[in-house]
Structure 1
Amino acid sequence: MADKIKTPRTKEMEFGGFLGASALIFLLPGTVLYLLLTCNTSDASLLRLPGPLPSLESLWNPFALVVLLGWVALQALLYMLPMGKIAEGITLRDNTRLKYKINAFQAFLVTTIIAGVAVVLQLPLSYVYDHFLQFAVASALLSLALSIFLYMKSLTAPESALAPGGNSGNPVYDFFIGHELNPRIGSFDLKYFCELRPGLIGWCLINLCFLMKEIELRGSPSLSMILVCGFQALYVTDALWHEEAILTTMDIVHDGFGFMLAFGDLCWVPFTYSLQAYFLVSHPQELSTVVAVVIIFIDALGYIIFRGSNSQKNAFRRNPSDPSVAGLETIPTATGKRLLVSGWWGLVRHPNYLGDLIMALAWSLPCGVSHILPYFYVIYFTGLLIHREARDEHQCLKKYGLAWQEYCRRVPYRIFPYIY
């Protein structure tokens, strides 16, 4: 029965279609390389080319690839261990619901213990900083290899298993977006595994390695480094603790698993999101206590908005009669669902994005204001969330029709109150 259900052809191609997807396959790795090379220069200026082209020896290190593969294997082992609980995803086109193992937080705790033992044993964690560019190249190659495997696998997948957004018939575009929605090897869900574990947990481990490098160079970690590592560790911990919430996100529900997500999860996230800590090792910044308190307040504000809005949405989805959301005003839709139009979701249409961006600003502020490089994440993330918000709006309009138009009329601002 499932084989007879066909995923319709993708008619609306995103990211500029074939040409945009082709360009991004080269532009994304090039951006990572450029950022890391620039961060290693004395002035860290994005407006100046970072010296001569790096040699092959400076880009390639087989041991870095071995370490990276070992890291992914460790996270895969922790994913498969009988710990955590099982949750069901949304109903698919063939009326089935996939089961997911929810144990990313437990995997994070085990990884933290292992990292703590490495620190106590004084293992050379600073090796990651010293060879960071080589680790990034190895990660990019691993992402490319995984993407090729995913596309080849998708060619034998049943029609019902294809992604609604990655079934255009153009091989380059489908390779980029992802042709198969939920590729699995047995019960091992490749997209779900990569979404949170190797890259997100790896981001925290990379920050720890940078902190250890700073201790090696200066005897103790700076307040700036402590704030950056602490803020980002809180963000990662929150994501892993609320792992089940990603089962309703666009990445899981709509996007296939191709180069876009594979490279994003395994290379872009750990090697660009850690840019502030990487910058601070070679460009130390002094912070006064007053400035540090202000930055902590900004991060706390962002986190309150981010977590409050996400928790409110998740509570409403699970049980609209929950006392925490029962009194909120809603709009009925033709699908039988209701749209929140008060609380956090009456402030702007995407309050979680607003909180995300405020936190992103707080992560960059410890790096000072004399360089734009540490603010790359804020700039990029603003563009990403505005684009994602446009995709969300388009999907919601198709799904909810007039109800969504009414919601937009009632809540006119998308992300930034009274601005956008």
Structure 2
Amino acid sequence: MSRQKPLKSSEQSIPAYSSITINGESSENIDEVVDNEVVLEFGGPWGVTAMMIGFPPLMYYLWGCLNFYGGAIVSPLNRDLWKQIIDGAYPTWHATTIYVLFVLFQLFLAYIMPGPIVQGAPVPSLKGRKLDYLCNGLTSWYATLIVSCVLHLNGWFRLSEVIDEFGHLMTAAIMTAFILTIMIYVIAVATNKQHRMSGYLMYDLFMGAPLNPRIRHVDLKMFAEVRITWVLLFFITISAAVKQYELFGYVSAPMWFMVLAHFLYTNACMKGEECIPTTWDMTYEKFGFMLIFWNLAGVPFTYCYSTLYLHISSINNNKPVEHSLGFTVFCYVLLLVGYYIWDTANSQKNRFRMIMNGTYISRYAFPQLPWGTLENPTFIKTQQGNLLLTGGWWSIARKIHYTADLIMAFSWAFITGFETVIPFFYPVFFVIVLIHRVSRDMHRCARKYGKDWEEYCKKVPYIFIPGVY
């Protein structure tokens, strides 16, 4: 297997931590204290149990409303609706085989494809040790695109089959997510690899037991977050576009919009994968139902509602959805503006972090956008030695990348028009998720950085929207 050795930046890394006191804890162990602190979230054991039980039926219900009623909101007590859902989404060997082979193929690529090895942030539970991450998402992404084209063009697997089998594939994904959640939990406990356990079974299943589960050099958290979620979402959309071409001989502007939107998002995750190892998901979140279900089933099969509506509507009306030129241009502009801010903001922060940690590497994957790397950025140095970026986009708002993400999310809904509210599920749900995620992050940072965090909040007072919130 060809893999690059870890690359180091020529920039000077952060000086070693000094032993000082922050909020009553020495800086030598404040990270470990925060990392081990159990905070019951999402309504505690009862709340997460309700989410684990309730989210799959919600996914089936919204898909059923789209697929069988054109997006109309039907009573959830409608027996005909659930009969149609069962008929259209019962588990089949064919769909399960497609889904499992896709996951295994992505795992195979994650294991063998070449790419740089990047160190993550210090892991408190490992006494500050930095884990190595093989970042071969870009080569795996290109390999996936090539293989899918070969399969499609030779008639071995038509891409339009994904959208045809959507209901059955969703069931396969949901089943796989539940099975893996239980398996990984049991293995972690059996091998004494559990971390930050609450003592409540359902809560620990939801949040997860292991922090950094791996199969050799493949980190399962990063694998699920990048290689399954967004790649599958893209192929659902490209499948709908291929199906539209097969039915009507062309692909409409709104459907091209969704192909572009999901390609840009997936491609950005791949070309910037080396930035992921230092993120909160990798260093703090455990690998349980929340991340497993969401990445293997939740995201790809709910964030695609705009694509599904465009697909179903074209079949029901025997013609693709079209909008006025002005409205279509507005949606495209909104998407591209949101994407530019999102891509460059994430790039600025993560490259700054990597440069200061000595793990930055130069990559030239398409597209490399202007202002993606800051020169001489301003920042606040905490008493621990950590740096809080206050330059570039990050001088405007503390979560500017989330703002841009929401701009894109709403553009995905706008391109469908306003005949149904279901495509707006993703952006509205995303708002709720981000508000909760930000509150968790703010609490953790305030606990960790103390007065330095107060200074940072004064320097960058707004969270999402400058001058508003």
Normalising by structure 2, report the TM-score: 0.83
The residue type equivalent to 1:262 in the other structure is I
Q: Tell me which of 301, 306, 310 is aligned to 1:280.
A: 310
* Aligned partner of residue 323 in structure 2, secondary structure: coil
Query: Aligned partners of 2:306 and 2:35: how far apart in 1?
Result: 43
Q: Give the superposed CA RMSD.
A: 2.3
Equivalent residue runs for 1:12-411 within 5 Å = 12-46=39-73, 48-49=75-76, 51-54=80-83, 56-58=86-88, 59-92=90-123, 93-95=125-127, 96-122=129-155, 123-158=157-192, 161-164=193-196, 167-284=197-314, 285-319=321-355, 325-411=374-460
Q: Which runs of 5+ in 2 are unaligned?
A: 1-31, 315-320, 361-370
CA displacement, residues 123-150 of structure 1 (integer Å, 9 cap, x when unaligned)? 4332222221111011100000000001
CA displacement, residues 313-357 of structure 1 (integer Å, 9 cap, x when unaligned)? 123213359995354332221111232223211211100001101
CA displacement, residues 369-418 of structure 1 (integer Å, 9 cap, x when unaligned)? 22111111111111111111111111111121111112212322211223
Mean Cα displacement is larger for which, 21-30 or 185-194? Answer: 185-194
Mean Cα displacement is larger for which, 338-347 or 41-50? Answer: 41-50
Shift of 1:57: 4.5
Contact 2:120 2:131 in 1 (8 A): yes
The residue type equivalent to 1:150 in the other structure is I
* Aligned partner of residue 203 in structure 1, secondary structure: helix
* Aligned partner of residue 39 in structure 2, secondary structure: coil
Contact 1:84 1:106 in 2 (8 A): yes
Aligned pairs, how many? 412
Shift of 1:263: 0.5
Shift of 1:104: 0.9
Query: Aligned partners of 1:338 and 1:192: how far apart in 2?
Result: 24
CA displacement, residues 17-72 of structure 1 (integer Å, 9 cap, x when unaligned)? 10111111112212211121111133412364364323655322121111111111
Query: Aligned partners of 2:266 and 2:113: how far apart in 1?
Result: 22
Contact 2:237 2:307 in 1 (8 A): yes
The residue type equivalent to 1:267 in the other structure is A
Shift of 1:228: 0.9
Query: Aligned partners of 2:212 and 2:114: how far apart in 1?
Result: 22
* Aligned partner of residue 91 in structure 1, secondary structure: strand
Query: Aligned partners of 1:27 and 1:19: how far apart in 2?
Result: 12
Query: Aligned partners of 1:76 and 1:9: how far apart in 2?
Result: 30
Aligned to 1:418: 467
Contact 1:115 1:205 in 2 (8 A): no
Contact 2:331 2:415 in 1 (8 A): yes
CA displacement, residues 212-257 of structure 1 (integer Å, 9 cap, x when unaligned)? 1212222211111001111111111001110121112222111110
Q: Which has the higher contact order (CA 8 A, sep 6+)?
A: 2
The residue type equivalent to 1:40 in the other structure is N
Contact 1:224 1:367 in 2 (8 A): yes
Contact 1:45 1:371 in 2 (8 A): yes
CA displacement, residues 167-218 of structure 1 (integer Å, 9 cap, x when unaligned)? 1111110111011101123333222221111222111111111111212222
* Aligned partner of residue 42 in structure 2, secondary structure: coil
The residue type equivalent to 2:68 in the other structure is T
Contact 1:298 1:359 in 2 (8 A): yes
Shift of 1:8: 7.7
* Aligned partner of residue 465 in structure 2, secondary structure: coil
Q: 1:130 to 1:224 in 2, by over 3 A?
A: same
Q: 1:127 to 1:13 in 2, by over 3 A?
A: same
Contact 1:176 1:259 in 2 (8 A): yes
* Aligned partner of residue 68 in structure 2, secondary structure: coil
Query: Aligned partners of 1:115 and 1:414: how far apart in 2?
Result: 41
The residue type equivalent to 2:40 in the other structure is M
Query: Aligned partners of 1:215 and 1:415: how far apart in 2?
Result: 39
Query: Aligned partners of 1:61 and 1:319: how far apart in 2?
Result: 49
Contact 2:331 2:411 in 1 (8 A): yes
The residue type equivalent to 1:13 in the other structure is L
Contact 1:214 1:281 in 2 (8 A): yes
Query: Aligned partners of 2:417 and 2:280: how far apart in 1?
Result: 34
Query: Aligned partners of 1:7 and 1:413: how far apart in 2?
Result: 25
Query: Aligned partners of 1:251 and 1:268: how far apart in 2?
Result: 17
The residue type equivalent to 1:16 in the other structure is G
* Aligned partner of residue 126 in structure 2, secondary structure: coil
